[in-house]
């Protein structure tokens, strides 16, 4: 399988996961908003759902176009095998994307719940603590993506520190 095909497949799998996630969260948000009598929750659910559907359709029907824009054009000559350092950097980047993919929706969910329950007298400290936690998780994900080579160098240094 070529790198372009791999990215296209990953994009379609991500689209499936995102569709399930958005459907679940929007149903929960709508149910919570209707219980609270929030007049804006149907509008928010409709707007987010339409935007998500457009994004999902683009991911589903144009994965190769997106893959071609993300990856350089492949030549006819086979690429040399990648070094372990390269695979580690790619792995850190993928872990960073995974962390971001889980942190951003949770961060947004806590913000939305705080919005929905803004007028209620209740203990919102766990939601605020969650916001802090998910924000730190977001920073870790960004750090994994942007600092993957630095992490690789640190791990290689720590691994070889006793072999001097």
Tell me the per-residue pLDDT of 91-147, one tens digit each, with 9 for 90 and over. Answer: 777 788 888 888 888 898 888 888 887 777 777 788 888 899 899 999 988 888 887
The secondary structure of residue 136, as a DSSP letter, is H
Would you say residue 77 has pLDDT above 60? no
The Cα-based distances of 20 to 12, 39, 89 in angstroms read: 13, 25, 29
Report which secondary-structure segment, H or E, holds 68.
Answer: helix 63-70
Structural tokens at position 146: 């942007």
d(CA 87, CA 40): 46
Structural tokens at position 103: 């942190």
Query: Do 9 and 47 contact (CB within 8 A), yes or no?
Result: no
SS3 assignment, position 3 = helix
For all residues of the chain together, what is the average pLDDT?
82
Tell me the whole-structure pTM to 2 decimals: 0.52
């Amino acid at each position: 399988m070529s790198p372009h095909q791999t990215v296209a497949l990953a994009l379609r799998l991500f689209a499936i996961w995102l569709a399930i996630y958005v459907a679940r969260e929007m149903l929960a948000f709508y149910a919570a908003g209707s219980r609270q009598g929030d007049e804006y929750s149907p509008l928010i659910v409709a707007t987010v759902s339409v935007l998500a559907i457009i994004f999902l359709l683009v991911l589903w029907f144009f994965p190769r176009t997106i893959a071609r824009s993300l990856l350089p054009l492949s030549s006819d000559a086979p690429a040399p095998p990648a070094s372990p350092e390269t695979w580690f950097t790619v792995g850190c980047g993928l872990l960073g994307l995974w962390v971001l993919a889980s942190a951003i929706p949770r961060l947004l969910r806590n913000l939305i719940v705080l919005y929905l329950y803004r007028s209620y007298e209740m203990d919102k400290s766990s939601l605020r603590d969650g916001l802090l936690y998910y924000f730190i998780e977001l920073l870790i994900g960004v750090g994994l993506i942007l600092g993957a080579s630095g992490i690789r160098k640190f791990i290689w240094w720590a691994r070889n520190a006793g072999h001097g």
